[in-house]
């Protein structure tokens, strides 16, 4: 016998009865019709059961779709999150994380019509994010995409949810702790001189390894964010749009030199080819000031020349934190300087604090040994 059931819903306008059935072919639960009287719902359920027993399946309802963009559906979803926050259904931290992740996904899908987005496009996006960052970051993005599509169904911006059956990536080995030791970093810097990015890549790598800058922070950095003369050392300001956090640090010597070398090259080249109009103040840019959107080719070429495998640009942030701790800093120092919002994000480096303790014990053992000989 066919599986047909009635769900009773209490709403402000009164009680409604949803007649649903399980598709005998796919096994999925489907909505049939909604009634305001239980007697009518029971009659419809009996008719539907008889129809299914005869091997007939109700034709799907034709739903009028509103051609809303991913960003527009996202804005509607944010309003729902705002209401849930006011009712204390979600915590402020959860609300903030949802909105932050949605802003990130909007960079890729925001301007696209939701009903025109295909599963393949989502698959490609998740694969790219996992490759550049981690499976965890990719899964967070997929979670937001699923929420947007689910809300899109609710407000009739899409007829079917192409993300519904997409599986999350395995997070068993998600935590990346790859980092470069000082000698490896030197080797990578040297390798940049073998490709077309030899003028700007050293400054980009030093920004990641000596200041923990993310790719977004590097690409959005402007010359006005840098004060090379501050107290004879220099000052640099970063803004991370992911969590809307701003941090200011003294310039590290090698970073300062690399940035000054790159700036001098830009000025010389602009003078050589007589560039009249500079199109932006971006640090990472073409000769005419047009922002460079990505530096993947130069990055991977440098890694290959240096013989470094399985290393992402984001791992330079791990390089910064790891070497900071191994040079004597603690987890709190790393959290504040890298711009983490929660100390739990910095806990992945706790094992390095043990290495630091070991170095202290080794120095103590050496001290005892030398004192014994006296």
Sheet harboring 14-22: ordered strands across?
Answer: 4-11, 14-22, 29-35
Give the pLDDT of residue 301: 94
Q: Are 163 and 296 in contact (CB under 8 A)?
A: no
pLDDT value at 221 more than 70? yes
Which pTM value belongs to this model? 0.56
Burial of 164 (0-12, 13-18, 19+ CB in 10 A): exposed
What does residue 21 show for φ and ψ, rounded to 5 degrees? -145, 160
Q: What is the mean pLDDT of residues 136-156?
A: 92
pLDDT score of 206 more than 60: yes
Q: Assign 342 a pLDDT band (cuts: 50, 70, 90).
A: low
Q: Are 299 and 236 in contact (CB under 8 A)?
A: no
Residue ranges of the domains in the chain? Answer: 4-53, 70-154, 182-349
Cα→Cα distances 307→176, 185, 302, 303, 313, Å: 19, 12, 9, 6, 15
- Would the pLDDT of 303 be above 90? yes
Q: For residues 103 and 206, what is the distance between their CA atoms, to the nearest angstrom?
A: 27
Predicted pLDDT of residue 173: 53
Residue 29 confidence (pLDDT) = 83
Q: Given pLDDT bands bounded at 50, 70 and 90, which one contains residue 357?
A: low
Could you tell me the fold of the domain covering 182-349?
A: hpI Integrase; Chain A (1.10.443)
Q: State what percent of residues in the chain have pLDDT above 90.
A: 47
Q: What's the mean per-residue pLDDT of the chain?
A: 86
Query: For strand 14-22 and strand 226-227, is the pairing parallel, antiparallel, or unpaired?
Result: unpaired
Output the pLDDT for position 320. 85
Lowest mean pLDDT among 7-21, 47-61, 151-165: 47-61
In this predicted model, what pLDDT tens digit does every residue of 78-96 receive, in sequence order?
999 999 999 999 998 899 8
Check residue 64 and give its pLDDT.
73
What pLDDT score was predicted for residue 87? 92
Spatial CA neighbour of 294 closest among 215, 189, 222 = 215
What is the tens place of the pLDDT at every residue in 272-288?
A: 999 999 999 999 999 99
Residue 347 pLDDT exceeds 60: no
Candidates 124, 160, 163; CA nearest to 145 is: 163
Residue 342 is given by DSSP the state S
């Amino acid at each position: 016998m066919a599986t047909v059931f009635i769900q009773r819903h209490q709403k402000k306008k009164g009680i409604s009865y949803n007649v649903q059935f399980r598709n005998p072919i796919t096994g999925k639960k489907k909505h049939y019709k909604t009634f305001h009287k239980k007697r009518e719902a029971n009659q419809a359920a009996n008719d539907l059961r008889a129809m299914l027993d005869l091997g007939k399946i109700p034709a799907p309802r034709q739903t009028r779709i509103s051609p809303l963009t991913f960003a527009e559906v996202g804005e509607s979803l944010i309003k729902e999150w705002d209401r849930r926050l006011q009712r204390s259904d979600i915590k402020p931290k959860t609300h903030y994380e949802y909105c932050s992740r949605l802003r990130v996904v909007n960079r890729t899908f925001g301007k696209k019509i939701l009903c025109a987005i295909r599963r393949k496009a989502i698959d490609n996006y998740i694969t790219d994010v996992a490759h550049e960052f981690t499976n965890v970051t990719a899964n967070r993005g997929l979670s937001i995409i699923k929420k947007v599509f689910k809300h899109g169904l609710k407000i009739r911006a899409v007829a079917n949810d192409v993300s519904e059956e997409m599986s999350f990536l395995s997070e068993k080995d998600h935590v990346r702790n790859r980092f470069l030791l000082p000698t490896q970093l030197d080797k990578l810097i040297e390798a940049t001189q073998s490709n077309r990015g030899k003028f700007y890549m050293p400054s980009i790598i030093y920004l990641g390894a000596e200041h923990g800058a993310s790719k977004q922070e590097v690409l959005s950095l402007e010359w006005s964010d840098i004060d090379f003369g501050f107290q004879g050392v220099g000052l640099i300001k970063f803004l991370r749009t992911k969590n809307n956090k701003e941090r200011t640090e003294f310039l590290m010597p090698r970073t300062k030199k690399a940035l000054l070398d790159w700036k001098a090259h830009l000025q010389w080249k602009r003078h050589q080819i007589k560039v009249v109009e500079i199109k932006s103040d971006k640090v990472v840019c073409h000769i005419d000031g047009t922002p460079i959107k990505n530096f993947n080719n130069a990055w991977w070429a440098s890694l290959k020349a240096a013989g470094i495998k399985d290393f992402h640009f984001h791992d330079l942030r791990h390089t910064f934190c790891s070497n900071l701790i191994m040079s004597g800093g603690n987890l709190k120092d790393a959290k504040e300087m890298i711009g983490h919002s929660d100390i739990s994000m910095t806990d992945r480096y706790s094992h390095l604090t043990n290495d630091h303790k070991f170095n202290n014990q080794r120095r103590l053992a050496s001290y005892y040994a030398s004192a014994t000989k006296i």
